[in-house]
Structure 1
Amino acid sequence: MTEVLTESDLVLDAIQRYPVANNPSAFLALNDGNLYFRAEGVPGVVVYREFDRYLVQFAGPFAPLEARRRLLQEFVRHAAELGKEIVAVQVQDGDAPDYVAEGFTVNQMGGSFALELSRFTLAGTAFMQLRNKISRALRTGMVVREVPLEQWHDAMLELDRGWLGTKGENVKPLEFLVGQYGGRYQPMRRVFIGETDGRLMGYITYSPVYGEHPGWLHDLTRRQPDAPPGVMEAINKTAIDTFIAEGVPWLHFGFTPFCELETQPKFPGYSKAFHWFMSHLWEHGEMVYPAQTQHAYKHKWNPTLMTGEYIGFQRGASIPALVHIFRACNAI
């Protein structure tokens, strides 16, 4: 029987075949709600969402190195035909020069962090507090293990609803730049949970990472509002131990906006005003995204690799374009 490939299957093939930009979040290209652009005669795919007059692009083109700029040019042409403007988010530094060459303003928006598992340790006084938090959580009787999604799917959905309720009225779950669970590609993801006497206390999902630093992406995290401190750390430590036993090279912690803005390269034509605005959001943007909290959590694990992630504005850096990224993420 001939296998019928869906459009997203072709995207999966692209992110596996062309991981040349080494985007650790590439698997998010398969999220429900994404749109895909392909150009005749050009290998690869562009992933995006459409909001008002913007095409909000996720990452750079997933294409062979020699075809990436051409595919970007075709996407620019496609946007012009629709009367739309492109804003691209989570562009990697390897893709940024192509965007600059096509007239985009490219600014750093944040960074991604990764841990080389062969170098992982929690020994020493620097990790005493983390070890104590993990021990405290486990002393409550919580059991941590990897599970099939179907066994805990309903409980995870219920936890999601309760967790979202703590964020305020009319708050929607984040999407687009965060992962999801369930659906066609769930067998490629992994789920680790903490449970106490059959009650789900928290969970973390992990998505595959391809490219130069293969491994797993620490993705969705949720915990009960009354869960004891250390629940998420205990779950992640169990996952790390599992990955190390399997010989997995890297654990990625994913994208954190607004951080590490003075540590990474800046590209010609970047906007100093927008750079200042990102710095302002780092200091005062907790209502938009808890960047400092996420940054602190990731640094607990002493990551060994940090890379900048960028935003590309087709018609100059602008707050309206940034707002449409947040709209795509359900952040506003």
Structure 2
Amino acid sequence: MSPSAATATASPVLSAIRTHTRSENPSSFLALNSGNSVFTTPGADGVAVYRRTGRHLVQFGGPFVAPETYDLLLDGLVDHAEEEQLQLVAVQLQRSDAERYAAHGFTVNQIGASWAVHLPDFALRGTRFMQLRNKISRAFRNGLQVTEVAAEDWQDGIAEIDNAWLGSKGDHARQLEFLVGQIGGPAQEHRRLFVGTIDGAPVGYISYSPVYGARAGWMHDLSRRIPGGSPGLMEAINSTAIEVFRSEGVEWLHFGFTPFTGLGQEYELPGYSPSFQWLMHFLWAEGAAIYPAQTQLAYKEKWAPDVLLPEYVAFRGPASLASFAHIFRACNAF
């Protein structure tokens, strides 16, 4: 019986990420995004999730699989890519995945990091949060109201925010996919959505997706706002969600993956590519046109995250600019 590849459906993928997710992987729920494909192989209890772009197979997050069959699934995926004459590249690997991929002959480099706040220890007190408190207070003084809502009841309001946000990005801007969350689809019932309104008009939202494993909680995922509105809108929405989560006993709020951030020599594995490492540092410093990493990190650092989790990219063979570009292509960046 040969390996199979099919359109991802919520049931088997959700079961796999709940059961086998890497304990430090906060982004595993993105595996359920519409448009993903799933790979399985006989004898391996789990799945690998990917998108195909041109002659590349871009895998997300490492195999979500029982530890004893990890190598079986990874080897099956490698064989599948070779049979299809596709170049395999994997992104958003966690450290444990990165080590396994390196052992399988991949070239593995750090590509960025994700961040998390331990909610039982979190409070917006003290001078370090003074500026953040002021922005949140200003948003509420300007009439902001924040409510947790059902996405299906707010389709028009979400579309209004999305269209205004995307329109502010220029004529060629696209909605990103794959490595960012979505609203809607078969997995929506598992997400949570907080919407901000002023005088009844929608002005911003944040979608949170579940995180499983040792640092279980929620991930601050897809977020949008009306351009030019009151300062502090997103901070006020997030602070409201934090208070709800804390009242429910949630342990962790994750802020997800940001490429080119949190880079450190201590995170690299033996056999990494020095030239690709240089590129990541260059894109951190000069790559705002490709991705606004510094702006994204500045928002996350406002919340004084407790944990930095390095994330990795793995190339089947030498590090490749073409394969790196196909990650962005899989994200609909161009």
| Amino acid of the structure 1 residue aligned with 2:88 | I
1:113 partnered with 2:115: yes
Provide the residue aligned with 1:226 in structure 2.
Answer: 228
Counterpart of 1:12 in structure 2 is: 14
Please give the alpha-carbon distance, in whole angstroms, between the structure 2 residues aligned to 1:253 and 1:127.
17
Question: 1: CA distance between counterparts of 2:51 and 2:332?
Answer: 12
Q: Secondary structure at the match of 1:247?
A: coil
What is the deviation of 1:151? 2.3
Match of 1:164 among 163, 166, 177: 166
Aligned partners of 2:315, 2:89: CA distance in 1, in Å? 5
The 2-side partners of 1:78 and 1:235 are apart by 44
| One-letter identity of the residue aligned with 1:53 | R
Task: Indicate the residue corresponding to 1:3 in structure 2.
Answer: none
Amino acid in the other structure paired with 2:302? K
Alignment partners' CA distance in 2, 1:42 and 1:19: 14
Where does residue 193 of structure 1 map in the other structure?
Answer: 195
- Is the CA contact 1:20–1:64 (under 8 Å) kept in the aligned structure 2? no
Equivalent residues of 2:9, 2:32 under 8 A apart: no
Structure 2 residue 326 is the aligned partner of structure 1 residue 316: no
**Match among 248, 251, 271 for residue 249 of structure 1:** 251
SS at match of 2:227: coil
Segment drifting more, 236-245 vs 159-168 = 159-168
* Structure 1, gaps ≥5 residues long: 1-5
Indicate which of 100, 108, 111 corresponds to 2:102: 100
**Match runs of 1:283-322 below 5 Å:** 283-322=285-324
Of 148, 164, 178, the residue aligned with 2:180 is: 178
For 2:162, give the aligned amino acid.
Answer: D
Q: Take 1:177 and 1:283, find their aligned partners in 2: how far apart are those partners?
A: 22
In 2, the alpha carbon distance for the partners of 1:143 and 1:282 equals 35
Aligned with 1:94: secondary structure? helix
Shift of 1:153: 1.5
**1:76 is the counterpart of 2:53:** no
Q: CA deviation at 1:145?
A: 1.6
* C-alpha separation in 2, matches of 1:22 and 1:128: 30
Q: Does 1:38 align with 2:57?
A: no
Looking at structure 2, the residues matched to 170 and 298 of structure 1 have their Cα atoms a distance apart, in angstroms, of 27
Cα distance in 2 for residues equivalent to 1:218 and 1:101: 32
Letter in 2 for 1:191: L
Secondary structure at 2:202 match in 1: strand
Counterpart of 1:277 (choices 279, 284, 289) is 279
* Aligned counterparts of 2:256 and 2:119: Cα–Cα separation in 1: 15
Separation (CA, whole Å) in 2 of partners of 1:57 and 1:206: 23
Q: Which runs of 4+ in 1 moved over 2 A?
A: none
Name whichever of 144-153 and 280-289 sits farther off: 144-153
Q: In the aligned structure 1, how far is the partner of 2:206 from the partner of 2:34?
A: 19
CA distance in 1, matches of 2:33, 2:65: 19
Cα distance in structure 2, aligned partners of 1:218 and 1:53: 32
Q: CA offset at residue 21 of structure 1? A: 4.8
* Partners of 1:319 and 1:221 in 2: CA distance: 29
Alpha carbons 1:189, 1:205 under 8 Å: kept = yes
Instruction: Report the residue type matching 2:119 in the other structure.
Output: L
Secondary structure of 2:159 counterpart: helix
Give the share of equivalent positions with the same residue, in percent.
54
Who is 2:209 aligned against? 207
Indicate which of 237, 240, 245 corresponds to 1:238.
Answer: 240
Partners of 2:152 and 2:53 lie apart in 1 by: 33
TM-score by length of 2: 0.96
**Displacement, 1:263?**
6.1
Give, as a single letter, the amino acid of the residue that structure 2 aligns with 1:13.
S
Report the equivalent of 2:332: 330
1:264 to partner: Cα distance: 4.5
Name the aligned partner's letter for residue 206 of structure 1: Y
For the Cα contact (< 8 Å) 2:23–2:212, is it kept in 1? no
- Give the number of equivalent residue pairs: 327
Report what 2:3 is aligned to.
none
CA positional deviation for 1:38: 0.1
Distance 1:22 1:264 in 2: 18
Counterpart residue number, 2:148? 146
Q: Output the aligned Cα RMSD.
A: 1.1
- Other structure's SS at 1:115 match: strand
Shift of 1:227: 1.2
What TM-score comes out, normalization by structure 1 length? 0.97
